[in-house]
Structure 1
Amino acid sequence: MYYSDTHTHTILSMDGHVPLSALADAAIDAGLSALTVTDHYDFFTEDGKKAPALDWGPTLQQFYETAPRYEGRLALRLGIEMGAGAFFQEEARSFLSLPELDFVIGSVHNMSPEKGGIDLFYLNFEKLEDCYATLDDYFTCMAHLAARPDLYDVMGHIIYPLRYMPDGVSLLGYKDVIDVILKAVVEAGRGIEINTCRGKTIGAWWPILRRYRALGGEIVTTGSDAHTVEGVGKGIAQACDLLRETGFRYVAVYDKRKPVFHKL
C-alpha cells in the first residue's frame, strides 16, 4: 500500500520541534512511501501583525543536505504551507515562483485583517456564539483564497477551526460557502487535503469528501500535520480507507507543483 504524508513541519517552523532527518526516519518507521515537508510561511504573526518575509535559505539547505540520504528508501518532497497568502498576493506570487517548490498548501490560520488577524489557536471558544462568529470569518477567508488558485495546489485543512472548538459545533450552516470553496477548487484543477491532525481527525472529513467527490473533485492529498516524530504518518492509513469509502481511487503526491497519482 502506498502511504504518503504531505503535511509536516520541522524545526524551521515556529511550532516545529525536530529536523527533517528525524521526520524522515519516523516516516520510514511508519511504513510511508513518501514524505513532503511543508514548513510554515504565514503572512500574519500570532497576534495579527504583518510577518517578516521568509528566509528560504535554511529550508533549502536542510532539504538538500537531507534528501540524498534517503534516496531509494523514501520519496522526499519540498513544500510550503502558506497562510493568508490571499491578503498579500504580490508577495505570495513572488515566492511561489521559486523553482525548488514541489507543493503548496494554501491555509487559513488567522482571523481576517478586519477581525484583527489573530491566530485561531489563541482565541477563546468557550461560548458557541464565539465559535460561529469565528467560523463565519474563517470560511469567508477560505473562499477568498479558493478563488485565487495560483496561490495554492491544495486547500489546507478545510475543517481546521474544529480542532480548537468543543464537540457539538456544527458545519451544517456552512454548506453553501463550503460548496463555493469546493467548486472553485474543482474548476481550477486544484485539490484538497485530508488533514488528520496527527490521527485525531478522520471521521469529520466524511461529509467534505462526499461533497467534493459529488462536485467532481479528484485530487486529494493526505497529511498528518506532524510537528514531532510521534505525529508522522498518524491517521494516514485511516484517511486512505476513508477516501476509498467516499469514492476516490487515487491519492496525490506533488512533484514540481504537479500531482502524481497513486492507486489507493
Structure 2
Amino acid sequence: MFLADYHTHSLCSPDSSAPLVQMAQAALDAGMDELCLTDHCDLLSADGKLDLSFRWEGVEEQLAQARAQFAGRLPIRMGLELGEPWEAPQEAARIVSHPELDFVIGSVHNQGRAAGGVDFYYIDYRGEEACYTALDDYFSCMEALAALDCYDVLGHVIYPLRYMNGRDGNHVTLDRYTERIRSIFRTVIAKGKGIEVNTCRGRSVEDWRSILALYRSCGGTLVTLGSDAHSPGDVAKGLPAAARLLGEMGFDSIAVYERRQPKLVKL
C-alpha cells in the first residue's frame, strides 16, 4: 500500500519545535513512501489580527538539510498550510507563487474578521448554541476559501469538532450543513482541487466517513492523507486506517503533488 503523509509541521511552525530531519526519519520508520512538509502560514493571528509576517527562508533551509540527508530514500515535498487566505488574497497569491512549491493546504483556523477573527481553538463551546454559531461562521469562511485559487486541497473540513466534541464534550454533528458542504465540494471539484483526510494524529479517522461519502457523491477524486503531526512521534498516525477507510468508501487512490500538479497513486 502506497502511503504519503501530506500534513506535517516542523520548527518553522509556531506550534512545533521539531527539525524536519527528525520528521523525515519518523516517516521512514513508519513506512511512508513520501512526506510533505506543510508548515503554517496563517494570515490572521490567534486573536484575529492580520499577520503578513510569513517568510520562506526557514522552510527552504529545513528542506535543503532534510533532502540532502534522505536523498534516494524519501521524497520530501515543499508544502504549506495556508490559513485564512480570503482575508488577504493578494498576499496569499504572492506567497504561493514560490517556484518550488509543490502543495498547498487551504485551511480555516479562525473566524472571519467580521466575527472577531479568533482561532476556533480558543472559543468556549459550552452548549450546542455556541457550537452552531461557530460552525455557521466556519462554513461561511470555507465558502470564501473554496472560491480562491491559492490552494490545492481543503484542509480538515471537520476541524472545529476537535474542540467542540473531543475537548469540550459536546455531541455536535455536521448534518445541518450537508447542503453547504455539498456546494463547497462542487466548487472545489470544478476548480480541480481536492480535500484532505486529516487524522488529527490518529484520533479522528472514522469521523471522515460521512464527509468522504458526500465528497464522492459530488464526483470528487482528489484526496490526500495527513496526520497533522507537529512532532516525530505523531508522523503517519492513523494513515493506514485512513487509507483503508478510503477503500471502503470507493476510492482506490490517494493524491500526491509535485509543483502544484496532482497525481493519483493506487492505494
TM-score band (shorter)?
Answer: over 0.9
State the secondary structure of the residue aligned to 1:160. coil
Aligned to 1:76: 76
| Structure 1: gaps of 5 or more residues | none
Aligned to 2:27: 27
What percentage of aligned pairs have identical amino acids? 46
Deviation at 1:52, TM superposition (A): 3.1
State the secondary structure of the residue aligned to 1:238. helix
Aligned partner (choices 248, 262, 267) of residue 259 of structure 1: 262
Aligned to 2:115: 115
* 1: CA distance, partners of 2:147 / 2:209: 23
* 1: CA distance, partners of 2:258 / 2:211: 25
Aligned partner (choices 175, 191, 200) of residue 188 of structure 1: 191
* 2: CA distance, partners of 1:66 / 1:251: 24
Report 1:120-199 matches (<5 A): 120-148=120-148, 150-166=149-165, 167-199=170-202
Aligned to 2:207: 204
Tell me if structure 2 keeps the 8 A contact 1:4–1:34.
yes
Q: Does 1:235 align with 2:210?
A: no
Aligned to 1:14: 14
* 2: CA distance, partners of 1:226 / 1:203: 18
Deviation at 1:64, TM superposition (A): 1.2
Q: Which amino acid is 2:155 matched to?
A: G
TM-score (norm 2): 0.97
Q: Which amino acid is 1:232 matched to?
A: V
State the secondary structure of the residue aligned to 2:242. helix
Tell me if structure 1 keeps the 8 A contact 2:21–2:65.
no
* 2: CA distance, partners of 1:72 / 1:104: 24
| CA deviation map 1:108-131 (0-9, x unaligned) | 000111011001111111121111
| CA deviation map 1:81-135 (0-9, x unaligned) | 0000012111111111110110000000001110110011111111211111000
Deviation at 1:9, TM superposition (A): 0.3
* 2: CA distance, partners of 1:263 / 1:132: 38
Aligned to 1:53: 53
Tell me if structure 2 keeps the 8 A contact 1:86–1:151.
no
Q: Which amino acid is 1:249 matched to?
A: D
Deviation at 1:80, TM superposition (A): 0.3
State the secondary structure of the residue aligned to 2:6. strand
State the secondary structure of the residue aligned to 1:151. coil
State the secondary structure of the residue aligned to 1:194. strand
My pick for the range that moved more, 133-142 or 68-77, is 68-77
Tell me if structure 2 keeps the 8 A contact 1:224–1:234.
yes
State the secondary structure of the residue aligned to 2:241. helix
* 1: CA distance, partners of 2:95 / 2:29: 33
Tell me if structure 1 keeps the 8 A contact 2:78–2:100.
yes
| Aligned-pair Cα RMSD in Å | 0.8
* 2: CA distance, partners of 1:60 / 1:155: 24
* 2: CA distance, partners of 1:231 / 1:127: 31
| CA deviation map 1:162-216 (0-9, x unaligned) | 0001241010000111011111111111100000000000111111111111111
* 1: CA distance, partners of 2:223 / 2:207: 16
* 1: CA distance, partners of 2:60 / 2:134: 35
* 1: CA distance, partners of 2:66 / 2:29: 17
* 1: CA distance, partners of 2:87 / 2:47: 16
| Structure 2: gaps of 5 or more residues | none
